[in-house]
Chain A
Amino acid sequence: MDSSNEQFSRIYDQYIEKIYRFVYLKVDSQETAEDITSKVFLKGWEAYQKNDPPIQNIGAFLYQISRNMVVDYYKEKGRTKVVSAEFVAEMPEKGNGLYEKILLNSDVEAVKIAIKSVKQEYQDVLIWHYLGDMPTQQIAEILNKPTGTVSVMIHRGLKSLKNVMREQA
């Protein structure tokens, strides 16, 4: 039987990209996204070990933590991002060069900008459903809403996103 360490290691591998992506789209900073994501998994690991109460759906649990941490981040920092001059050189973001792994084409970049203008709760369901491949039932568990409501939110989210992109075009 696998130890909890091995089990969580698999959970980590399964969710690290999804959670990072979710957080990154919210905070739009690689450094901040890494910081928050690592805290999400640390907290997730502590809860997993403790197992009290038992976690029924670890993916939903990690997303809930992520959501809360992003909210806390904005509460603490305000909506204005402050970059300390002491951290300027050699930031993890690489705008140019060999290892710019996030070389988004213009269409995808437009979506990335547009989604930030969509209502928060629609942002979340769109990211979870289309980027996290999460079924509506799981999203409903996270939000504690009926599955039908989530379907409507997804539909409205897409419509809202389409409108924003039309305005930006």
Chain B
Amino acid sequence: MTNKELISKLQGLKQIKPRQDWVLLTKNQILGANKVAPKAASVGWLSRALKGIASLDSQRQLAYSFAAILLIFAGITGLAVNLLPTGTPVSVAVKNIVEKSTASLTPEANVKNKVADFTKKSQDLAAALKSAKGNSKTSIPVAINAVKDAAKSLTDAIVKDPASAKEVALQVKESATLLSVNGSADLKETSDLLYKTIDDQMIADLNKTTLTESQQQDLVKITDLYNQGKYSDVLEAILLINQSK
């Protein structure tokens, strides 16, 4: 074998690449946790927020912008209600608006809260498992139940607000990778239901979009996986298609 042939084979190892969803998640975890760097201190918080919004896709921009506007409006009107004397026509009207605007925030904010809770509980479970080596394992069933409850709660929230499925899919996939604990069949069942709920919405979204031939073939395979009940694999496949679009 010549050196040239050997180098060519060696360079074949460039096929080894990390999972794209892991790459994105890790980037968010590292850079997302440290958004305000000392070097950027001179830039106003507002422009940083706007830059953050500008980097999102248009659907998320609209969703987050709308949520931000409602939050600001709710805050201002909430202050007005507290400052005005009670019983005045204006304060009553403002109070009604505040109640309505608060109610309109509920579905999206609810899903976000549920995802955050689910992620936290999954991390707690992973930590409990890691610390269980040689120590008492009594905290693990408690952690498992907490994750199950969080998963059920999140599933219900997504059923009520199907459009949120796409936004939370990546986070759920990463958090739920930890859910397959040996001996916890009902936890797997709960996580499968969560996956399936997200899968249903995202497959419906994919069917509405224009896909390349390769993506269409992938969609057929995704459907097969779905019919086999491999909901976790389906979600990962869909995330890969979305990233390649």
Contact = CB atoms under 8 A, between A and B. Distances in A.
Interface of A: 3-5, 8-9, 12, 16-17, 20-21, 24-25, 30, 33-34, 37-38, 41-42, 45, 49, 51, 84-90, 92, 97-99, 101-105, 107-108, 110-112, 115, 126, 130-131, 158, 161-162, 165-166
Given A45-B31, A131-B14, A107 B233 contact: no
A4 B6 CA distance: 40
A99 B236 contact: yes
Chain B CB count within 10 A is highest, among A38, A126, A162, for A38
A103 B13 CA distance: 11
Given A4-B39, A16-B23, A90-B177, A130 B18 contact: no
B133 A161 contact: no
Interface residues of B, number: 47
Contacts of A131: 10-11, 13-14
Given A38-B30, A45-B31, A112-B13, 9 more contacts: A20-B18, A34-B19, A98-B218, A101-B17, A104-B15, A105-B12, A111-B9, A162-B6, A165-B1
Interface string B193-233: 00000000000000000000000001001000100000011
Contacts of A90: 177, 179-180, 232
Contacts, number: 134
Contact of B30 (A41, A87, A102, A110): A41
Given A99-B233, A104-B15, A49 B182 contact: no
Contacts of A33: 18
Interface of B: 1, 3, 6-7, 9-19, 22-23, 26-27, 29-31, 34-35, 37-40, 43, 48, 129, 132-133, 177, 179-182, 188, 218, 221, 225, 232-233, 236-237, 240
A74 B91 CA distance: 67
Given A5-B37, A85-B182, A86-B182, A25 B30 contact: no
Nearest to A169: B1
B34 A45 contact: yes
| Majority DSSP secondary structure for residues of B touching A | helix
Contact of B13 (A86, A89, A111): A111
Given A12-B27, A38-B30, A130-B7, A24 B16 contact: yes
Contacts of A86: 129, 132, 181-182
